[in-house]
Amino acid sequence: MIEVCDLDKSFGGLHAVDQLSFCVEAGQIYAVIGPNGAGKTTLFNLMTGLYIPDSGQILLEGENIVGLPPEQLAQKGLCRTFQNLQICMNMTALENVMLGRHRHLQAGFLPSLLRLPSLRRSERACRERAAALMDFVGCGNYLRTEASAMPYGALKRLEIARALASEPKVILLDEPAAGLNGAETAALEQLIADIAAQGVTVVLVEHDMKLVMSISQRLLVLDYGRKLAEGNPDEIRKNPDVIAAYLGA
């Protein structure tokens, strides 16, 4: 599904991503871990069009997507959530999720001006799908709630629902468990498994090692922008370089 080839990105004298290569299979739960400053979020920003790499390729189903803006990547099936919440607080929870379905709406000047039946049907279908996604992520009780009035844990799930509303092939989750309590993290783990079970490829950056090791099929460990190790959870747990640099003895 995704192939990263010799990816390189520097900011002045800082080499944030250094000749990085890896592959993510379709339907896989793939985790990227490493110490703070290892280049994890920079990698996500490169993969989602927020940064342009200095060199290298990022292939989505064999197509080089380097240089494409985020809205075109969403059309090709690549969406993400953010480490810091990017929620429209002046909208309801349902409206936030509907926003994620904008590329599926039948829009245009004339239909919007005349409020044609096709437009009304499209809007109704969008609302129904958004409500179903809120149920799926566990936010069904907040349909008409203003986003500003929702608890933090529910907002994290709401952002996932909005990303899923685009019907992605790949969803990138940037620290989805950050700030969650134990019960919320357990619910998130089940949600990620449910997303993958629907055929969506999941790539996540996460510091919660219990979550990562229990749910990921493959892990990439970064250290100062370089690949330190890659493998399944058991291989990563036993890797002496990973233990020394990140997990600890």
Cα–Cα distance, 185 to 172 (Å, whole number): 17
Mean pLDDT, residues 199-215:
93
Give percent of the chain with pLDDT exceeding 70.
Answer: 90
Give percent of the chain with pLDDT exceeding 90.
Answer: 63
Confidence of residue 127 (pLDDT cuts 50, 70, 90): confident
Distance between alpha carbon 241 and the CA centroid of its chain, in Å?
27
Cα–Cα distance, 9 to 52 (Å, whole number): 8
pLDDT for res 119: 64
The DSSP bridge partners found for residue 173 are 204
Confidence of residue 211 (pLDDT cuts 50, 70, 90): very high
Mean pLDDT, residues 206-212:
91
For residue 156, which amino acid is it?
Answer: K
Tens digit of pLDDT for each residue in 9-34? 999 888 899 999 999 999 999 999 98
Cα–Cα distance, 42 to 40 (Å, whole number): 5
CB-side exposure of 78: number of CA atoms within 13 Å?
A: 26
Predicted TM-score of the model (pTM): 0.85
Q: Are 150 and 97 in contact (CB under 8 A)?
A: no
Q: Are 103 and 74 in contact (CB under 8 A)?
A: yes
| Confidence check: pLDDT of 53 > 90 | yes
Tens digit of pLDDT for each residue in 60-112? 999 999 989 988 998 899 999 988 888 889 899 999 998 887 665 666 555 55
Mean pLDDT, residues 238-245:
86
pLDDT for res 52: 94
Residues of the chain with CATH 3.40.50.300: 1-77+169-249
pLDDT for res 20: 95
Which residue's structure tokens are 């349902």?
94
Domain with residues 1-77+169-249, CATH architecture: 3-Layer(aba) Sandwich (3.40)
Phi, psi of 6 (to 5 degrees): 50, 45
Mean pLDDT, residues 151-165:
93
Choice among 27-41, 99-113, 174-188, 193-207 with the minimum mean pLDDT:
99-113
pLDDT for res 164: 94
DSSP characters over the chain: -EEEEEEEEEETTEEEEEEEEEEE-TT-EEEEE-STTSSHHHHHHHHTTSS--SEEEEEETTEE-TT--HHHHHHTTEEE--SS----TTSBHHHHHHHTTGGGS---HHHHHHT-HHHHHHHHHHHHHHHHHHHHHT-GGGTTSBGGGS-HHHHHHHHHHHHHTT--SEEEEESTTTT--HHHHHHHHHHHHHHHHTT-EEEEE-S-HHHHHHH-SEEEEEETTEEEEEE-HHHHHH-HHHIIIII--
Centre a 10 Å sphere on the Cβ of residue 108 and count the other Cβ atoms it contains: 11
Mean pLDDT, residues 136-149:
91
| Confidence check: pLDDT of 142 > 70 | yes
User: Tokens representing 230?
Assistant: 């890659």
Choice among 207-211, 227-231, 242-246 with the minimum mean pLDDT:
242-246
